[in-house]
C-alpha cells in the first residue's frame, strides 16, 4: 500500500502533467490561429493590390535565329523584381523563317534580312522585311485590343537586337490616335533613319534603351546615334549601358522592371524598392 505522502506526490505529478498537456494544447491552438490570421491578411493585401492594377501588356520580340522561348523568362523575372508586373499580359511572337544574306542565304527565324555585319550606323536596311514585321506586330496589337480589351496606350512594345529594331519602328511610326505605353529596346538599333518623322502622338511613347558597351554585333555606337536622333524629335529616352557584349545584364533587367512598373502602375500603391 502507498503511504499518504506518496499518494499526494502522485496526485501532484498527475495534476502538473494535465496542466502541461492543456497548456501545450492551448498554445498549439493559438499558434494555428495566428498562422491562419496571417495568411488571411496576406491574401487580403495581395487581392487589394492586384485588383487595383489596370490591364496592360508587353509584346516582346526575340532576336535573329532565336524564338519566343528565348525571352519568355521575362514573365517570371520582371514580377520577381516588381510584383505588380505579374498583372501584365506577356506576348512573345515568333519571327518567320527567312533567308539571311550575311549567312549566305541560309534560312533562320528573323524579322528581316541582315545585309551587313557587324551592324553599325551605316548598315543597310531591308525596308520591305521591316514593314512586314511591323504589320505583324500591329496584328498582335489589334488582337490584344479586341480579345483582351487592352488599349494601345496600355501596351508596351519591346525586343532584343533585331526584335528591338522592329519594336522601335512600331512605336515611332505609329499612326494611330493613341501612343503605345512605352517602347523597350535592348541591344537594338534605329533603322530607316532617313524616314524618321515621328508624329506628336508617337512622341508621347517613352523609350528604355539598354545596350552592351562591348557589343560586337550591334555596335555600341548605335545607342548614342539613335538616342540623339530620337531626342531631337521629342522622344523621352531612358538610355543605359552595361559592361557586356551582345547580351542582357541583370542590372538591365532590374532597371527595365522599375521603368515598366513606374510607367504602368505609378498611380497605384507604392512599388517595391
Active site residues: 161, 215, 246
Strand 155-160 to strand 182-186: parallel, antiparallel, or no bridges (unpaired)? parallel
- Cβ burial, residue 250 (10 Å; 0-12/13-18/19+): exposed
Q: Which residue from 98, 235, 236 is spatially nearest to 162, judged by alpha carbons?
A: 98
d(CA 156, CA 215): 25
DSSP string, 48-113: HHHHHSPPEEEEEE--TT--GGGTTTHHHHHHHHSGGGGGEEEE-PPPPEEE-GGGTT-EEE-SS-
Three-class SS state of 194: helix
Q: Count other C-beta atoms under 10 Å from residue 26's C-beta.
A: 10
- Nearest-10 crossing angle of helices 162-172, 127-143: 70
Angle at CA of residue 9, ends 5 and 15, nearest 5°: 145
d(CA 162, CA 22): 69
Amino acid at each position: 500500500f502507498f503511504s499518504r505522502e506518496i499518494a499526494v506526490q502522485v496526485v501532484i505529478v498527475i495534476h502538473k502533467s494535465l496542466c502541461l498537456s492543456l497548456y501545450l494544447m492551448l498554445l498549439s491552438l493559438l499558434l494555428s490561429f495566428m498562422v491562419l490570421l496571417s495568411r488571411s491578411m496576406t491574401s487580403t493585401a495581395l487581392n487589394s493590390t492586384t485588383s487595383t492594377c489596370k490591364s496592360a501588356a508587353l509584346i516582346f520580340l526575340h532576336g535573329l535565329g532565336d524564338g519566343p522561348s528565348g525571352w519568355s523568362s521575362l514573365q517570371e523575372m520582371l514580377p520577381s523584381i516588381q510584383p505588380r508586373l505579374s498583372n501584365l499580359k506577356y506576348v512573345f511572337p515568333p519571327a518567320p523563317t527567312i533567308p539571311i544574306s550575311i549567312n549566305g542565304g541560309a534560312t533562320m527565324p528573323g524579322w528581316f534580312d541582315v545585309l551587313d555585319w557587324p551592324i553599325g550606323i551605316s548598315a543597310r536596311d531591308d525596308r520591305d522585311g521591316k514593314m512586314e514585321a511591323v504589320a505583324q506586330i500591329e496584328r498582335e496589337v489589334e488582337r490584344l485590343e479586341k480579345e483582351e480589351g487592352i488599349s494601345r496606350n496600355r501596351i508596351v512594345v519591346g525586343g532584343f537586337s533585331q526584335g528591338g529594331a522592329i519594336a522601335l519602328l512600331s512605336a515611332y511610326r505609329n499612326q494611330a490616335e493613341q501612343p503605345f505605353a512605352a517602347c523597350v529596346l535592348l541591344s537594338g538599333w534605329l533603322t530607316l533613319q532617313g524616314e524618321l518623322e515621328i508624329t506628336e502622338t508617337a512622341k508621347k511613347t517613352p523609350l528604355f534603351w539598354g545596350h552592351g558597351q562591348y557589343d560586337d554585333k550591334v555596335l555600341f555606337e548605335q545607342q548614342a546615334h539613335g538616342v540623339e536622333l530620337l531626342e531631337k524629335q521629342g522622344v523621352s529616352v531612358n538610355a543605359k549601358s552595361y559592361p557586356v557584349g551582345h547580351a542582357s545584364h541583370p542590372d538591365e533587367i532590374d532597371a527595365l522592371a522599375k521603368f515598366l512598373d513606374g510607367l504602368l502602375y505609378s498611380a497605384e500603391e507604392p512599388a517595391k524598392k
